[in-house]
Structure 1
Amino acid sequence: MSTLDPGFHSETPSTAPSVVQNSHTTSTLNLHMDEKPSVTGTVEKRTTAIRPIHGWKWVVSCISIYTTALLYGLDTTIAADVQPDIVKSLGQIEKLTWVGAGFPLGSVAIILPLGYAYGLFELKTLYIASIILFEAGSALCGGAPTMDALIVGRVIAGAGGAGMYLGVLNYLGVFTTLRERNFYNSLVGLVWGLGCILGPLVGGGFAVSSATWRWSFYINLVLAAVMAPFLILYLPSHSPRPKENVTSKLRNMDWVGIVLIAAVYTTYTMALTFGGAQWAWDNYRFIVMIVFFGISLICFIMSQYFNILTTKEYQLFPGHFLRSRTLILIFIGTSACSCTLFIGAYYIPLFFQFARSDSAIMAAVRLLPFICLSITFIMLNGAFLPKFGYYMPWYLLAGVFMTAGGACMYTIDSDTSPSRIYGYSILLAIGCGAANQSGYSIAAAKVKPEEISAAIGFVNVAQIGSIVISLTIAGTVFQNLAYENLRSALVEYGFTESELRSAVAGTQSAVFQRGTEEVKQLAVKAIIKSMDSVFILTIAAGAVTVVAAAFMRREKLFMQTVAGG
């Protein structure tokens, strides 16, 4: 792949905005050219622009679209602290992993097709449609009569959420100037991070109130209803290809790639979610699902390599990026940081609920040091990385802290003090925050201007895809080891398999409700012991990041800030 010189600053013209997911997109901004010295001392022409929306209409438009970014962050973590209440209400502990993994699964399965669609179809229509899809999924989650319905709702909401987030990035890419775009993009990351912080608190607050956990999802409907008039009346329209009809646009989409990438993530998640819980590891259903995963992955790779029923211009995945050492390494680093962030967000509150019998809201409060430090370091990285340009030290710092924090979390037991957990979580937070978002800016600086949007989508797949992979693996490890540990520890007490599995979901099971104090202590120790093994993933993530950093170039990039989700 042809990459830019490390000293080159790619200021994309508005005909290929850095956050719009297709290089053919045209902007509605009024353009003029000026001349400025480049970083090499020569005179280069740069495109500047005049934003067509001003005053209160622009303020209202920004508030409206940033609210949808907040909702996307909120739903990313809102299930972290309400899982015991969901299982108490709906049962089926063996499917609990889907509650956390379903949302990012819906996002990652659709992120590439949606990113591509934003470069073809009318911006406002696709954005509003994504919001409607997100709200439909949220409504289904809130009113879910069964665990299966809740899971379907989470997947639907995840798909709509990805569309909302990409819509925000595209609006800012089309309707802001180059000079102000970095500022508005940084606000996207800030608002998304705020949503992630509020997610466990909002979920925990509803779980312990008379509203119940269902309002953790219904709240999305209320916020969307408030913003709907502004979104409909004041958001401007924009068509990236106004002369191309809808039939032609649909025909040009890489439908083979779209179907296969969705199959890859779905079969993988189903295999690891049901494996060991509902399906024995040697059960034919688990084996069949793994085989289908392998076949889907191979077929997707082949379809992209040989451009089956598509062309190189329209292929879904930018496979030529895999020829770049830097892009591969930041893909790995981004995946590792995202893995650590979400394992911490889901399993630190779970520790306090078991080990300290905390309520959902109290467990969420105890998560604040981890979330706040993560967001702080994401913001520090966003501020200083473009300023100084050296990216390798950030990944090295991230890897060291994630490894140290993961190793400390591996030593916890039921008697570990809260202060030590806070300290360990801070180490994890510094690590995952230090490089979680940097891949977006690095990728934008390492590719040709017309490939920036594809590079951002490439990193987005790493970030969202790793959430699915890490939560699925962590859920499988935790549920299976916890059940085995409980069965060994309580073999003399005659609890049934369903009672032991329900104990893994929370303290409302028969084990904790009817068991003696001795039984409760044995159960907590067994469950916390299995939780230790989950944090092995964060140790591995940190070690992989250190290795990736060691192979990165010691170069300085002149880059612009771009936001990810």
Structure 2
Amino acid sequence: MAASTVPSTLAVSDSDNTVQEIKPNECQPGQPSLGVVTTTQIPIPSSHDAPKAGRQLRGFAWFIMVVALILSTFLYALDNTVLANVRPSIIDTLGRIDLLPYVSITYPLGEVGSSPLWGKLNNLFNNKILFLIALAVFEIGSAVIGSARSMEAVIVGRAIAGFGGSGIYMGTMNIVSAMTTPTERQLYLNHIGIAWSLGTILGPIIGGAFADSSATWRWAFYINIVVAAFGGPTCVFLVPPVLPPAANTRTVWERIKQVDYVGEILFLGGVLVLVMILGSGGAVYSWTSGQMIGLYAAAPVIWILFYVQQRFEIFTVDRIFPLQLAGDWQTVSLFFWAALAIANNVVTIYSLPLLFQFAFNDSALRAAVWTLPFIAALLASGGPLGPIFPKFPVYWIWFAAAGSLMLIGGGLLTTINYSTSRGAIVGYTVIQGLGCGPVVQLPFTVGQAKVARSEAGAVTGFLTCAQMGGLVLSLGIATTVFLNLTTNDIAAILPDQPLSLIQAAINGDSSSFFEQLDPDIRQQIVEIIAHNIGKVFYLNVAGSGFGLVTALLMKRERLQLRVEE
């Protein structure tokens, strides 16, 4: 989001305020076709009131500010997966294993459920202040978890931290977008995506390291407060005010009244039902139980009510979800890509450590090491895109190429089993990473460049909601598919064991269970787990295939990203 009162406000297009539409089948002499041949000028919304682009901070101060912002995103991502290896320790300390699924689902509930609210607030108020508030809320949640004396307190703390984490990510995206020019924005947005991926991967390692040390699992959450002691003051002193246009035309009270509280409540209710279905189905309740049937019935009702309320702006003058963007196919295609790129990352990062820990008997640390080639591929393909994209900003080609690589990598990953070598698995993930890297944050660059400055914040909120939704749904579906398939297959060879004990063992909450079994039975279980992890990657195949189709349907246009100095 650009700020009309800050020197770093963006001009989103060239001086003629156009994008170039590239039409196929009309080849220019001497030019390669690539389906991209002639150009015509298409007007896009004007932003004549925006000052010239440029950064207020440069040099070392700019570097420190960017590090502080990205570090905050790293902490937010870390908490997505930090529970993986600390759950057994939390249960040992606080008991109540029956509440464990709710500990897992409250963080994503807080982050996804509050995403539209943070997006709307960033369109109305100073983004810097909102970021600092979100950071404070996140740290309060971390403190509640770390000091918890009951499982209920952990659940409440996770919800608070998720709420704050959503605001951190939204604020980081808005501030970085406002303080960079279109030509450099993709580079810095890629840094955010890489920090998120690293945090997601390192979460289980850092959590497990604390859980196994004298510091105990509590420091897996207290560490957030320690790191924020650097990031918070840095942002206070270095980040300039980032004011949306509404801040100059309405009073604070008018903007407070403008927030769509009814829409936020309905959206949060819809997310709650979906998260409950994914988190409770097959784990807490049988899929055919009365509780689950009630959730199935409630989900469409709540989402229909939300759509009607947003569509006709009932009890609001400014709907919380940017529904106007959902009417444009090009923006919707970017929404899908924002979701599926994150989903491909999450499914890969979630599944690989399980495979190496169970199939190869690796420690949590060693299993995480084998995910580093995937991250290296993300860096190798995503990092250079920053300076390259402005020179060749025909975005449909980037999405199509990424979709093709992701489809190939995902397809190969579906073939893995107990006998698949480490080298082959790493090779498959590298292909997957090369596809994911360029497009994790590319929808933001494209979406912001295609709208007027006044709509840039709405686009950021729209796409951030897609990312968080993709994260939660893909992780929930992947976990549900793997857990239910594996539980049923293991139960077939261990019919006398309760399903709850088998699921706890798969989750890592009762690992000694497998160690007590006969070696031949353990071997069969390992083969079952490896085979079902391969099935999880069909989610990536489906998403990548759909993404490739949408890429081929995108406009053949060249974005004009040059900014007048």
Q: How do 1:31-180 residues align onto structure 2 when only pairs under 5 Å count?
A: 38=16, 47-48=51-52, 61-79=65-83, 102-144=106-148, 149-172=153-176
Distance in 1 (CA, whole Å) between partners of 2:87 and 2:349 is 13
Give the deviation of 1:454 after TM superposition: 1.0
User: Is 2:306 the counterpart of 1:304?
Assistant: no
Name the structure 2 match of 1:532. 534
Give the deviation of 1:458 after TM superposition: 1.3
Distance in 1 (CA, whole Å) between partners of 2:201 and 2:429 is 14
Name the structure 2 match of 1:512. 514
Name the structure 2 match of 1:409. 413
* More moved, 460-469 vs 81-90: 81-90
Name the structure 1 match of 2:221. 217
Structure 2 letter corresponding to 1:115: G
Distance in 2 (CA, whole Å) between partners of 1:72 and 1:66 is 10
Contact 1:111 1:162 in 2 (8 A): yes
* More moved, 207-216 vs 441-450: 207-216
C-alpha distance 518-255 of structure 1, shift in aligned 2 (>3 A): same
C-alpha distance 150-394 of structure 1, shift in aligned 2 (>3 A): farther
Structure 2 letter corresponding to 1:408: L
Contact 1:391 1:556 in 2 (8 A): yes
User: Is 2:288 the counterpart of 1:282?
Assistant: yes
C-alpha distance 159-85 of structure 1, shift in aligned 2 (>3 A): same
C-alpha distance 549-260 of structure 1, shift in aligned 2 (>3 A): same
Distance in 1 (CA, whole Å) between partners of 2:553 and 2:10 is 42
Secondary structure, in 3 states, of the residue corresponding to 1:389?
Answer: coil
* More moved, 92-101 vs 521-530: 92-101
Distance in 2 (CA, whole Å) between partners of 1:510 and 1:211 is 23
Secondary structure, in 3 states, of the residue corresponding to 1:118?
Answer: helix
Which residue of 268, 272, 276 maps to 2:274? 268
Give the deviation of 1:59 after TM superposition: 6.0
Which residue of 394, 397, 408 maps to 2:398? 394
Name the structure 1 match of 2:386. 382
Structure 2 letter corresponding to 1:269: V
User: Is 2:557 the counterpart of 1:551?
Assistant: no
User: Is 2:502 the counterpart of 1:500?
Assistant: yes
Name the structure 2 match of 1:15. none
Contact 1:93 1:505 in 2 (8 A): no
Mark the runs of 5 or more structure 2 residues left unpaired by the alignment: 19-40
Q: How do 1:296-445 residues align onto structure 2 when only pairs under 5 Å count?
A: 296-311=302-317, 314-445=318-449
Name the structure 1 match of 2:481. 477
Give the deviation of 1:190 after TM superposition: 5.0
Give the deviation of 1:535 after TM superposition: 1.5
Distance in 1 (CA, whole Å) between partners of 2:81 and 2:308 is 35
Name the structure 2 match of 1:14. none
Distance in 2 (CA, whole Å) between partners of 1:178 and 1:542 is 27
C-alpha distance 274-192 of structure 1, shift in aligned 2 (>3 A): closer
C-alpha distance 423-142 of structure 1, shift in aligned 2 (>3 A): farther
Give the deviation of 1:230 after TM superposition: 4.0
Give the deviation of 1:328 after TM superposition: 1.7
Structure 1 letter corresponding to 2:475: L
Distance in 2 (CA, whole Å) between partners of 1:31 and 1:435 is 24
Distance in 2 (CA, whole Å) between partners of 1:289 and 1:428 is 35
Give the deviation of 1:111 after TM superposition: 1.6
Contact 1:80 1:345 in 2 (8 A): no
Distance in 1 (CA, whole Å) between partners of 2:136 and 2:490 is 43
Name the structure 2 match of 1:249. 255
Name the structure 1 match of 2:27. none
* More moved, 217-226 vs 98-107: 98-107
Distance in 1 (CA, whole Å) between partners of 2:264 and 2:279 is 23
Secondary structure, in 3 states, of the residue corresponding to 1:48?
Answer: coil
Distance in 2 (CA, whole Å) between partners of 1:211 and 1:497 is 33
TM-score by length of 1: 0.83
C-alpha distance 223-412 of structure 1, shift in aligned 2 (>3 A): same
Name the structure 2 match of 1:13. none
Contact 1:402 1:541 in 2 (8 A): no
Distance in 2 (CA, whole Å) between partners of 1:338 and 1:31 is 28
C-alpha distance 81-181 of structure 1, shift in aligned 2 (>3 A): same
C-alpha distance 560-539 of structure 1, shift in aligned 2 (>3 A): farther
Contact 1:333 1:544 in 2 (8 A): no
Structure 2 letter corresponding to 1:447: V
Contact 2:197 2:345 in 1 (8 A): no
Give the deviation of 1:525 after TM superposition: 2.2
| Percent of matched pairs sharing the same residue | 34
1:209-234: CA deviations, max 9, x gaps?
44344432221111113444444566
Give the deviation of 1:381 after TM superposition: 3.4
C-alpha distance 121-39 of structure 1, shift in aligned 2 (>3 A): closer
Structure 1 letter corresponding to 2:346: F
Give the deviation of 1:443 after TM superposition: 1.1
Distance in 1 (CA, whole Å) between partners of 2:355 and 2:89 is 15
RMSD of equivalent CA atoms: 3.5
Distance in 1 (CA, whole Å) between partners of 2:393 and 2:179 is 27
C-alpha distance 381-52 of structure 1, shift in aligned 2 (>3 A): closer
Distance in 2 (CA, whole Å) between partners of 1:340 and 1:91 is 34
Name the structure 2 match of 1:294. 300
Contact 1:29 1:50 in 2 (8 A): yes
Distance in 2 (CA, whole Å) between partners of 1:368 and 1:85 is 26
Secondary structure, in 3 states, of the residue corresponding to 2:52?
Answer: strand
C-alpha distance 529-117 of structure 1, shift in aligned 2 (>3 A): same
C-alpha distance 261-179 of structure 1, shift in aligned 2 (>3 A): same
Give the deviation of 1:55 after TM superposition: 8.0
C-alpha distance 485-94 of structure 1, shift in aligned 2 (>3 A): farther
Give the deviation of 1:72 after TM superposition: 2.5
Structure 1 letter corresponding to 2:506: V
C-alpha distance 327-39 of structure 1, shift in aligned 2 (>3 A): closer
Distance in 2 (CA, whole Å) between partners of 1:88 and 1:410 is 36
Structure 1 letter corresponding to 2:76: Y
Alignment size in residue pairs: 533
Distance in 2 (CA, whole Å) between partners of 1:370 and 1:542 is 17
Name the structure 2 match of 1:489. 493
Name the structure 2 match of 1:29. 7
Secondary structure, in 3 states, of the residue corresponding to 1:454?
Answer: helix
C-alpha distance 95-338 of structure 1, shift in aligned 2 (>3 A): farther
Contact 2:183 2:387 in 1 (8 A): no
Distance in 1 (CA, whole Å) between partners of 2:427 and 2:80 is 24
Give the deviation of 1:31 after TM superposition: 9.1
Distance in 1 (CA, whole Å) between partners of 2:382 and 2:10 is 34
Give the deviation of 1:258 after TM superposition: 0.9
TM-score by length of 2: 0.83
1:266-300: CA deviations, max 9, x gaps?
11110121112222222121111122211111111
